[in-house]
Structure 1
C-alpha cells in the first residue's frame, strides 16, 4: 500500500477532466472552495477541450493527467467531473510515473476505472469523493460533503454508522480487508480486461446513477458469474440515484439486491450515502476497512500520511 502525502496550506492542486467535458462556468464556481482552504489551483491545459462526449481527445486528456502527475509542485489531483472516457486511456497511462510521484487522486463515478487501475498497478491509495463541476458547484453541496476533504490534511480514521444514514443489513457478519470498487457500471466494465477488479478478500463498494433495476440485475449477474461477489470479504451498497423502474412490470432495486447479495457468506449492508448523492461521504480506496453489521458500522483507516 502506497499512501500519498497530506496537504498543507499553500499547496497546489491540479484540476483536470479525464472523461466528459465539464461545464466551465460551474468549474470556476467551485474553485473558491479550495482557495478558502488555503490551496492554489492549477487547471489542466486541455480542460476546456471538447471532442464529442469527451473532454478532448484521448491524447489531450492523457497529456493533462501525465503532466499533473509529473509536476511535483502539484500535491493533489481533483477531477472536474466524471461522465465517460477514463477507460479509453487506462491502457496508455504511465503507471511507473504514478508510483514515482505518488499524490492525492480524488474523484468518483467514471473515475472508478482509474481508481481500480491505479490501485492494482501501483498500490497507491486514491479517494472516492465529490468533484468540482458536478458536485461542489451544485447548490445542494452540503457541509458534511465539504468536511470530507479534511481527511486530506491529517491522517484520519473514518467511521460510518447510522449517525449519517439508516443502514440495512442484508447479510450479518463482520469482515475486513482493503476497500475497493465504486461505480457499478465501471466495475463490471473492467471484467475481461487487464484491469479486471480484484475483490478477493476485499470490501467491495458499489454505487451508481440512472441504472434501472434490470440494468443493475445484469451487472450484478455478470459480477456473480465472474466470481467477484462470492470472493469478497464484505459488500457495502452506496447510493443508487434514479434507479426507479421506468417500465412495468419490473422488480424493485431492493429485490434485485436481495437476490444477488442476500445469500452471500460475507457481511452486506445497504444505505450508505456514498456516490451520486448529498451528503456524499468520501472514502479512501485501497486502505483497510472493517464492516460490522452488529453495530452497523464501516471503519476505514487513514488514506494519507504526514511528511
Structure 2
C-alpha cells in the first residue's frame, strides 16, 4: 500500500461532498479550524449542489473528486460529510488518476465505500476520521477529535488503549495485519460487487449509527456467510450509537448479537473503540499494519503518511 505524503503548514486541502449535501453553515464554521492548523482550504466547485438526498448529481460529485486528485496544489482531500451516494460513483472513479496522484483522503460513514474501492484499485492508504460539516463545524466537536488531524503532519504510530475508552474483550488473542473496514452498512452493501472488502489476514474495524440490533444481526450474518469474519485476523468493534430497539417489540441486545457472531471465532475481538459516529472520534489510517492484543487491551497502528 502506498502512503500519501504528509501535510505541511501552508498546504492547501480540498473539501468535497461525494455523498450527501453538507450543512453549509457548519462547513463554513469548520474552515477557520483548518486554517488555525496552518492550512488553506479550497472547496469543491459543486460543494453547494443538492440533488435530492445527494450533494449534486453523480457527475458533479465525481467531478469534484477527480479535480481534487488531479490538482497538484491540493495536498489532502477532506470530505464534508457522509450520508448516501458513494456506491453510485465508485465504478466511475478514475483509479489510475488516484494512483498517479496519491494524496491524503479522509472521511468516514458513507465514505467507507470509497476507502475500500481505493484500496482495491489504487493501493493507497486512506483515513477514517471526522469530517468538516458533520463533525468539525459543530459545537459538540471536542479537542481530542481535533487532535486526530495531527497524524497528517507527522508520521505517527497510534496507540489505542483504555486511556481512550473502556475496551471489552469478546475473544482473546493477538494478531497483526493491515487494518481495513469502516461503516458496517457500507461494508455489507459491497458484498458481491467489484468493491467487496478483503478481510483475509486483516484487522477489520466495524461501526455504525442508527441501526437496531436485528439489522446489525443481518449485516453481520451476511459478512459471516461471505467468509469475511472467519478470514479476518482480528476484529475491532467501534461505536454503534443509537442502536437501541424501537417501540415495544422484543429484541436481542447489541451485546448478545456481537457475542453470537464473534465469541466462537478463533481470532481476537475487542469492542468499545470510540471510532465512528461519536465524540470523541479517534481517527485511524486504513491500509497500514496494525496489531491488536486483547491481553494488553490495546491496538497499535503504523503511521499513515510518509
Smaller-chain TM-score bracket: over 0.9
1:259 corresponds to: 260
Cα displacement string for residues 277-301 of structure 1 (whole angstroms, at most 9, x for unaligned residues): 0000000000000000000000000
2:296 corresponds to: 295
Q: CA deviation at 1:138?
A: 1.5
Counterpart Cα distance in 1 of 2:278 and 2:2? 29
SS at match of 1:175: strand
Does the alignment pair 1:285 with 2:293?
A: no
Cα displacement string for residues 237-281 of structure 1 (whole angstroms, at most 9, x for unaligned residues): 000010011132000000000001111111000000000000000
SS at match of 1:127: strand
Cα displacement string for residues 178-219 of structure 1 (whole angstroms, at most 9, x for unaligned residues): 000000000001000000000000000000000000000000
SS at match of 2:113: helix
Identify unmatched segments of 5+ residues in structure 1: none
Q: CA deviation at 1:137?
A: 1.1
2:7 corresponds to: 7
5 Å matches for 1:103-118? Answer: 103-118=103-118
Aligned length in residues: 305
5 Å matches for 1:44-123? Answer: 44-123=44-123
2:184 corresponds to: 184
Identify unmatched segments of 5+ residues in structure 2: none
Does the alignment pair 1:135 with 2:135?
A: yes
Counterpart Cα distance in 2 of 1:71 and 1:278? 32
**TM-score, structure 2 normalization:** 0.99
2:204 corresponds to: 204
Counterpart Cα distance in 2 of 1:302 and 1:116? 18
5 Å matches for 1:22-61? Answer: 22-61=22-61
**Deviating runs (4+, > 4 A) in structure 1?**
none
Q: CA deviation at 1:232?
A: 0.2
Counterpart Cα distance in 2 of 1:163 and 1:223? 31
Counterpart Cα distance in 2 of 1:242 and 1:39? 34
**TM-score, structure 1 normalization:** 0.99
Counterpart Cα distance in 1 of 2:230 and 2:3? 28
Counterpart Cα distance in 1 of 2:117 and 2:130? 19
**Aligned-pair Cα RMSD in Å:** 0.5
SS at match of 1:21: coil
Cα displacement string for residues 70-94 of structure 1 (whole angstroms, at most 9, x for unaligned residues): 0010000000000000010000000
Q: CA deviation at 1:122?
A: 1.2
SS at match of 1:89: helix
1:222 corresponds to: 222
Counterpart Cα distance in 2 of 1:255 and 1:175? 24
Q: CA deviation at 1:120?
A: 1.1
